[in-house]
Structures are given as C-alpha cells and as structure tokens.
Chains A and B, each alone.
Chain A
Amino acid sequence: MRETIAAVSTAYGEGGIGIVRISGDRAGEILDRLFRRGGESGKKRSARLSAGRRRVFQDKKMYYGFIEDPLSGETLDEVLVVFMCAPHTYTGEDVAEIHCHGSVISLRRILDKTLECGAAPAAAGEFTKRAFLNGRIDLARADAVIDLIKAKTDRGYDAALGQLEGRLSERIRDLRERLTDILAEMTVYMDYPEEDASSDDDGNVRSFEDRLNDIRKDLNELISSSETGRMIRDGISVAIVGKPNVGKSSLLNALLRENRAIVSELPGTTRDSIDEYASIRGIPVRLTDTAGLRDAETAVEALGIERTKEALRKADLIFLTFDGSGALDGEDLEICSLLGERANEIPALAIVNKSDLPQRIDRDEILRLLPGVSAIVVSATTGEGVENIEEYIEHEVYGGRVKQGESLLVTNARHKALLMRADAGAESALEALRREEAFDFAETDIRDAYDALGEITGQTVTDDILDRVFSRFCIGK
C-alpha cells in the first residue's frame, strides 16, 4: 500500500481560493479528522470521533464546514470540501480536496494539520505520477498536465486540455501505424528473396517514397503547430521599433498599464531592450522595447541598435512606431527599409503616436512605404487608440497571420524535439531510397522515426523517459 500524500495544489499567493489535496487510502479518514460539517456541533463531533465512528463522505459531493485542529478544536478556516472515491479520480486513488481561503497562512496551516494526521508531503509531480502509475493517463497526457500547470493564460489552458484529451496521442498513433505498414512491407521483401511476386522494386520504392513524403508533411504540420504552441505558452513576441523619442516606451507602458520603463525627453534613453510580459485579451505577449535606430555614436547605443535588429529577427509581430507630430524623416525611412526585409514573413503594424498633439505626418506616405501594413493612430499619453492595438493583436493571433494551426498544438519542447527526430528519420530514409540503397538502410531510419514517435506516447520505453517527464512537475501536481 502506498502512503497517503498531501500538498497545496494551487499556486501560493494567487487567487481567492486555495486547494489542499490529499490522495491515498487514508484521504477520507484524514479529512474526517479535520473537517466539521456546518451544522454538526463540536460536542457531537468529538463524541462521534471518540466512539470511532467515521463520517462517510458521498462521492464527489461538496460539503460546507470548517477545518478544526483535531487536538485544540480551534477553527482554522471556513471551507468547502469534496471527497472522491477511487478509482475514478485524478490519481486513481481516494482523493480529498479542501477548498479554503487562498492566503499563504491558511493553506500552510491546513496542510500542516493533514501532515499531523498522517499524510506525507507530496513530492514534485507525485499526484501526476500516481495518476500515471494507476493508469489514469498516458505519457502525452502527463506531459500535457505539465503544460496545463505552466499555462499562464486561458488560451494556453485550452491547448493543454486538447492534449489531455489525447488528441496528440491519436495523431501520433496514426503516424506510427503508417510507419509500421511500410516497415512490414519492407521486411517481407527482405525475407523472401526468392519470392517472385513482389519483385517490382521500382514500384515499391515509389510507393514508399510517396508515403514517407505524406508522413513528413503531417509531421511538419505538428512541428509548426509547436511554434504556435510556444507562442501560446511563452507569449508571442512583439518588437516595438522606431526612431528615438517617438514614444516607444510610453507605448509599452500604455500597453502594460503601468510605469516600468524609464520615459525621458532625451533621445536614446532606452539603451537596452526591455522585455515586459502582458496578457492582452487572454494572449500572453512579450513586449520588447528597443533602443532607437540612430547611427550609433557611442558603443552603448551601437549595442542597442544591434539588439533592435536582433529583436526584429526574433519577433512574431512588429510595431513600427512613428511620431505623428513630426514629418517623416530619413530615420523613419531607414526603419521602413529595415522591416522591408522581413515584411513578407511577419505581420507588422504602423503605429502613429502622439495623436494628442497637432498632426504633421503624412499617413498616406507611410502606407505607400509599407504596402499591406495597417496603421493605427494612438496617443500613448492619453491612452486613446490603445484598445485598437489590443484588438489588432487578438485579430492577428487568432484569426490572422500569426498561424494558429488547427486546435491541435504541440506545446511541449520534448514533444517537439521528438517530432523533429522522427522527421529527420523519415528524411534520411527517403534519402537512402533515392540513392537506391538497400531497404535495410531506409528501414533503420524509419524504425528510428517510429521509436521517436513512440517516446511521445510512451509506447517506446526508454530508461530515462520518466525522469524527464516527472522531474518537470511542481509540488502539488
């Protein structure tokens, strides 16, 4: 029998409600020792407990009441509790959850009481490991749990749920079946050299090539969905560029709705790129404010310009910022031409700032310089038009040019690496077939692809797979 474990399952210091979760055979008993149901008098309860009569909690029913210190009778918190019977629970064991106030102190004290009653503190990932051990989830789902925990936003949460439901597993299994078919046909051919019926070599090779190409197409679809997956989890990267003093930092702050970067009237004050995170309409966004693009006179500024170029290279979305109160000048044009190199790959938005001041800029000229780029007029100072920028981000990510990639997203770096290994195997097999090497060589590569995919779903067992998966969990999951 495994020991009963307990941990705080919600993040400390966040939210109004916290959950202490207990899992194991003694979960119900421990809950009973700590919980007084509203309406049950303290006297009656101690009489019942000393007579050894335990409360039988109904499966998955919420009870309202109080957590009390079993020794002193002191009330620790007002709570809702729920008890869930094995095996249809998250861990596959009896599970009790105490929903209490979210303060660190309250959670800590309730957890301590569960430990005093005999629960052991849960190790990192132990709830999920038990779920895994008890056959409640396969590895791809276990990984999705990790992402679920890590997901900072609603959108990320949805993607994680998708994997939890096994959609990724389903796709991977289908790919593996197709690889198995190819392997089987290749081996028949190898084992029966004297069989004359299957001697149409060219036909075989062509069919294998076509099928491998199809498989690679599907693999790459999954891999590119992982790019979107990364965005959903880590946030999309937005580079705010523009010549000095067009109000990039003010714009950043307007989007963050807090004053973080230093704002100054002196051109070139923001020397380092500054990364800030914001959740804009449920999308995690990493905003990078860059030093202005200006012919560098000092080493420090040169560094800043390099970073701007770097940010341009890495960004998923670019905000080109102009000062609406001044005319377009050479520096603005230089920025437009810098973007020009990437204009076809990534979406960009022209932001004409300082709408609160008299406008001197020629907006048509901007649209002419940057074909296909839309322009939004804002005032970072008054906040006018900032909403339009938010709407633009949402539109680009969910409906527009930042590829969303179906509902299936690979959001896990391990999955992505394995998908890429599978693709490399398929590619190498195709190469061997093209060079007219013997099937054994292609077969080795295909088997490697097959095993890599199996590692995602846990069908291929490797000795370190569990270490890798579970070590990423935090305590409480």
Chain B
Amino acid sequence: MALYETESYDAIVVGAGHAGCEAGLAAARLGKRTLVLTISMESVAMMPCNPSVGGTGKGQLVKEIDALGGEMGINIDKTFIQSRMLNTAKGPAVHSPRAQADKQRYHEEMKHTLEKQENLHLRQGEVVDILFETGGFRADGKRVAGVVLKSGAVYRGKTVILALGTYLDGRIHVSDASWPSGPSGLSPSLILAEKLREKGFALRKFKTGTPARILAHTLDYSKLKEQKGDDEIIPFSFMNDDIGGNKRSCWLTRTNEKSHAIVAENIEKTAPYGGYTTGVGPRYCLSVEDKVSRFPERKSHQIFLEPEGISTEEVYVQGMSTSLPEDIQVAFYRSIEGLERAEFSRYAYSIEYDCIDPLSLRCSLEHREVENLFFAGQINGSSGYEEAAAQGLIAGINAARKIDGKAAFVPDRSEAYIGVLIDDLVTKGTEEPYRIMTSRAEFRLILRQDNADLRLTEKGFELGLASRERYERYLKNKRDTETEIARLRQTFVSADEAARFLEHIDDARGECGKIHGKISLADLLKRPEVTYELLRAADKDRPEVTPYARRQAEIQIKYAGYADKQNRRIESFKKLENKRIPDDIDYSSLNGIRPEAAQKLSEARPQSVGRASRISGVSPADINVLLVHLERMKAGGMRNEGT
C-alpha cells in the first residue's frame, strides 16, 4: 500500500460515535480545523445498545455536556419519543432525566449537525495507523503527527483524538460462535489494534453485550404493563423550553422461573460460561446468564420493552443481553409473559473489544507519554453513550486549548459529574467497563441535573464553546431565580393565615412548629409537605414565574441547609485539591512512604495531594507522610533530606 499525503488539520478525530461527535464539534466550534473520520457514515452517533439517553448519573452528565455547549442534550431533545424524570420520589440530587430516542433520527440529526458545522469535515474512512514524530514531553519522547487511512491517505494533524468505541479488535460472541465485528454488524478496526500494540500501547479486553430486538406487533400488550412518559417534560437542553410531548410508551414485563430454568440449563452454552470469552464485563449491566447464576434466589427480573423509534417495529428488551445460542434465545424470550409469540429481528450478542488503561492518561485526556494524542470514550474503559460523550467533549476542548497553548480545562469532582467521571478513570483506573452512578459523586447534593447550567455555563462561555445566546439564557434564568427566592423570603403571611394554609394542605406536622407573629413564604416552603405549587394558596400575589425559576427557587430554598453542609465539605476537599505537589518530587526519597505507594505515585505523578489520595495503593498514612514532607519543604526544613 502506497502512502500519499493529503490534507492537514488542527484536530483529527478518529471515530464518530458519541465521543467522537462531541470531540469534533467542540474542536471545530473552538475554531480548529477539524476532521472526523468514521468507518461508516451510517454509524455516526449510532446507538448499538439501548435506545435511550440519560438515567441515574447519566442524565446529569448530559445536562452538563449541554451546559458547557455540547450537542447531546440538543440532539436528544430533537429526537426523543418518550421522556421521564427518574427517582422523583427521592431527593432532588438523584432526580435523573431519561429519554427514549428514535435511534434512526438521533443518528441522522447528529450526522446532519456535524455536516453543517463550520470548520468540521466528516468523512468515511478507516484509520489503520497513527504517525508519531520525535519530541513532545521529553526530548526523546513522542508526539502525534497524523493518521494513515486504509487507502494509504495520510492526514497530518496537530492533535489526534482516538474515540474508537468498541471497534478496536472487536469480536462478537454468540455461544461458541464468534467473528471479528464492530457493534451491530459493522466492520471492526483490526489493523489499527495491531499497530497500537506494536507502538507499545498496553491494550486489554473488555466485554459488553446487547439484548435481542423483537418486533412490536408480535407482543401481547394485554399481558404487559404500560409505562407512560411524564406529563410535564423537562428538556435535556437548557436551550429548550417546549419540546413537545411523548410519542411512544415503554412496556413492562418480568422473567419467571421457567425462563430462569432455560438459562440455567443452557448456561454452559453461553460464551463466558462455556469458556469462549475471557473479557471483563460490566458488573452494573449484567447479562441474563450472570443474573441467573449470581442471584439464584431472585425468581424474577423486571424487563423494560423500549421502542427503538417511530418508523420501526424493533423493540429493545432491556436487561436481557445474553450470548446464548440463537435458538435458545428464542425459547428463553418466548417463556416471558407477553413475549410468547415474539419475532426476532436481531439476536442478542456479546462483544469483546480492546481498550487502553485510562491511568496512562492525563486529566485533560491527553496521553501521558505521547504528546497531542487524546483518548475519549469506550476506548478508555468506560461504558455508556453519555460517559463517552462527556469524555469526547473534554478531549475536544483540550485538544483545541493545547493548540492555543492554553491550560487544560478539567472540572473537578466538586464541580461536575464530568469531573468525577474523568478523575475516577485517570486517577483510580477501572477494572471493568466504567459506568457513572450518583453514588460515585460525593458532592451530589450540589451536582444536580437541575443546576448544571448554574455550575458550568459561565465556564462554557469563557471557553468559547457556549454561545452568547446560551450564556444570556443562563444569566436570565439565574436572575429570575434569585428574584423569586428574594421575593419568597421577603413576603410574609400572618400566623393565622399560615395556620389556615397548613390546615388547608393538611400538614400533618403542623402542630410541631408553632408559628408566632408572621412567617415568610420561604420558611413555609421549607416544611416537608409544602411544595411551591401548594404554596400558591398562601401566595396571593404570586407573579408570573418561569418554570425554570420556579423549580430552582423551590429546590434552593428547601434544601439550603444541606447545600451549606455539602459546601463546607467541598471547602475541605478543595484544600487538599489545591495543595500542589511539585513536578520534580522524588517519591523514592521520601522516608516513610511504602515502596508500593512511592511507585504508584511516581507513575501517576498527581498534581495535587487530593488526587494523590485517590490513587489506589496509596494509603492515608502515605498521604500523611506526603503532607508532612510538603509541609517541611514549605518551611525550608528539608536539610540533608532527599538526594
């Protein structure tokens, strides 16, 4: 194959999945000449697994991507067919939006957005190699110079972002059968995997899976439970107010003992239990065979049937991914109530793919050793569209900033779920496909989905990514909220009125807090039973308030005490986060740090004590030693110490 030179770009994004799309759009929107390469134009922003965006933790990520000026929120608002706010029975910190997408339209809209984007070229082509030149972080180090396509075309790039998804050395498994493949039958990226290995990247096998798709008209709806979308739909994007209503419902059913028996009898025929795969799968998204073998005491598992779009009969059978042989899959699915006559359009499979160890990345998502080479998405060991998109956005932003010689943009754990995601990946690493969860965010009372714009849009605007229109909407929302909070704090009702109001709304705890004199509407709103909506009865002269300001004022007033507590925790977190570790620190000379910890720290070279404390294998005692050391260095007391 003869190589030939073609064009030069500021940023070359390899892959146009959820990470690649955000990376390309971000770099282009920051004024960089950007090329996005995809194996197939048909797979841009493809959803090879579930037809939905959002969920616990994931919904927060999408809102953050949107607040910074990313595309995912806007795209799902354009193409959703059902929307729900999950966890509404619980506190606002875990309220998580989720929308069912029209898969085909999601792909088309995103592809169209990329095509129209100024500075961005979306092109079909398979990358088979990346080019290095000498230099970079060390004189004898490496710097990325461009990519080579299967055709021999060479594209030069100042930065390269690898967003390879599950294509890298991808292999599909169905029982004992397996073949090289990308997701959903697309061609895998085999040569590049080989070249990356040759170049010394340590690759490892992860595994994921997807359930079968069955046809909607073959379901027995009389046996299924309907799950409708919300009446009031809150858009993912802060740019949208009204995005229309739900177009489809989801349906619920359950597995039963008979279906579990089918799986148990045939478990040796599945890829992992039969010993046909060794890849590490996600603990948080178990295959049917794992569910049955790990939780034998559970007699039934819930199933969501999710329509894949408006112009298709295909239905996604959530939670039922498997690598059982296809005939057994049919028997198993048909043992489930409502699915007795289900016809299959696609069978379930599991897929193994190569990914890198994210510990080899900086928090900007640039590689530690190879300058200007960024990694984003599933290649970094994460799972999920939203996790991928968040990394893509950060990689795209930081590639652009690297070219401009600007400091990397990395939100920390107290600022965004995106910060939690990236810090977890590059500081702690992961031994299985990483999924974001609300429990991973220690400051989740502050990192809510409703306030993502308040947390991040200002930053997005400073970066140059959030548009002026977005910035002004944010300013207005913020102002409206503040005005409404101030009004509620300054509007008082008499004790009598308050008592009548509480009686009216049947406040069972009315007696426990006797009111003397007068009480502000804000204080009334703090009572557990009182909602902003109910408060209207006592709020005679309530002005017109936008839905945004209404929701935000309610949350901020009701949970002010907890927000204060969490903010105090954030303060102490920031103290360690801001305690810098000098770049030239020699961990091996630090008396008292265990050799294992010294080695981990030398490899990871954390920039702050906070980050150092999260590296696995580094104990609190090691951190205390490090603190003492830094303390003494600061005091100039390091006589004869170190080498």
- The reply to whether B442 and A190 contact each other, CB–CB distance below 8 Å, is no
A157 within 8 A of B: no
- The reply to whether B624 and A439 contact each other, CB–CB distance below 8 Å, is no
Residues of A within 8 A of B86 (CB): 193-194
**Cβ contacts A176-196/B at 8 Å (1 or 0 each):** 000000000001101111111
Residues of B within 8 A of A194 (CB): 86, 302, 304
A169 CB, nearest partner CB in chain B, Å: 12
Among A126-134, A311-319, A398-406, the stretch in contact with B: A126-134
Residues of B within 8 A of A135 (CB): 592, 594, 621
Among B308-316, B465-473, B568-576, the stretch in contact with A: B568-576
A193 to B97 alpha-carbon distance, docked (Å)? 12
Residues of B within 8 A of A382 (CB): none
**Which of A134, A438, A466 sits near B631, CB closer than 8 Å?**
A466
A467 within 8 A of B: yes
A293 to B575 alpha-carbon distance, docked (Å)? 55
Residues of A within 8 A of B613 (CB): 461
**Cβ contacts B24-61/A at 8 Å (1 or 0 each):** 00000000000000000000000000000000110000
A3 within 8 A of B: yes
B535 within 8 A of A: no
A residues contacting the other copy or chain, number (CB 8 A): 44
Among B8-16, B66-74, B88-96, B514-522, the stretch in contact with A: B88-96
Q: A1-B641, A448-B565, A458-B620 are in contact. Are A190 and B572 (CB under 8 A)?
A: no
Interface residues of A in 332-348 (CB under 8 A from B): none
Chain B contact-residue range equals 35 or more
Q: A3-B640, A194-B302, A462-B572 are in contact. Are A138 and B621 (CB under 8 A)?
A: yes
**Cβ contacts B423-463/A at 8 Å (1 or 0 each):** 00000000000000111001011000000000000000000
Residues of A within 8 A of B90 (CB): 190, 193, 438-440
A459 to B572 alpha-carbon distance, docked (Å)? 15
B609 within 8 A of A: yes
**Cβ contacts A442-477/B at 8 Å (1 or 0 each):** 001101100100100011111101110000000000
A441 CB, nearest partner CB in chain B, Å: 5
- The reply to whether B442 and A447 contact each other, CB–CB distance below 8 Å, is yes
A129 to B90 alpha-carbon distance, docked (Å)? 47
- The reply to whether A190 and B438 contact each other, CB–CB distance below 8 Å, is yes
B639 within 8 A of A: yes
**Which of B91, B96, B594 sits near A438, CB closer than 8 Å?**
B91
Q: Which of A129, A135, A460, A465 has the most chain B CB atoms closer than 10 A to its own CB?
A: A135
Residues of B within 8 A of A129 (CB): 628
- The reply to whether A190 and B56 contact each other, CB–CB distance below 8 Å, is yes
Residues of A within 8 A of B627 (CB): 461, 463, 465-466
Who on chain B is nearest to A188 by CB? B439
- The reply to whether A440 and B445 contact each other, CB–CB distance below 8 Å, is yes
A459 to B619 alpha-carbon distance, docked (Å)? 8
B200 within 8 A of A: no
B566 within 8 A of A: yes
**Which of B302, B439, B624 sits near A461, CB closer than 8 Å?**
B624
**Cβ contacts B114-144/A at 8 Å (1 or 0 each):** 0000000000000000000000000000000
B434 CB, nearest partner CB in chain A, Å: 14
Residues of B within 8 A of A195 (CB): 302
- The reply to whether A132 and B624 contact each other, CB–CB distance below 8 Å, is yes
B247 within 8 A of A: no
B616 within 8 A of A: no
Who on chain B is nearest to A454 by CB? B620
Residues of chain A touching chain B, judged by Cβ–Cβ distance below 8 Å, are 1-3, 92, 120, 129, 132-135, 138-139, 187-188, 190-197, 435-441, 444-445, 447-448, 451, 454, 458-463, 465-467
5 further A-B pairs in the complex, CB-CB below 8 A; given A133-B625, A190-B56: A92-B592, A191-B439, A438-B93, A458-B621, A465-B627
Residues of chain B touching chain A, judged by Cβ–Cβ distance below 8 Å, are 56-57, 86-87, 90-94, 96, 298, 302, 304, 437-439, 442, 444-445, 528, 559, 562, 565-566, 569, 572, 575-576, 579, 591-592, 594, 609, 613, 620-621, 623-625, 627-628, 631, 639-641
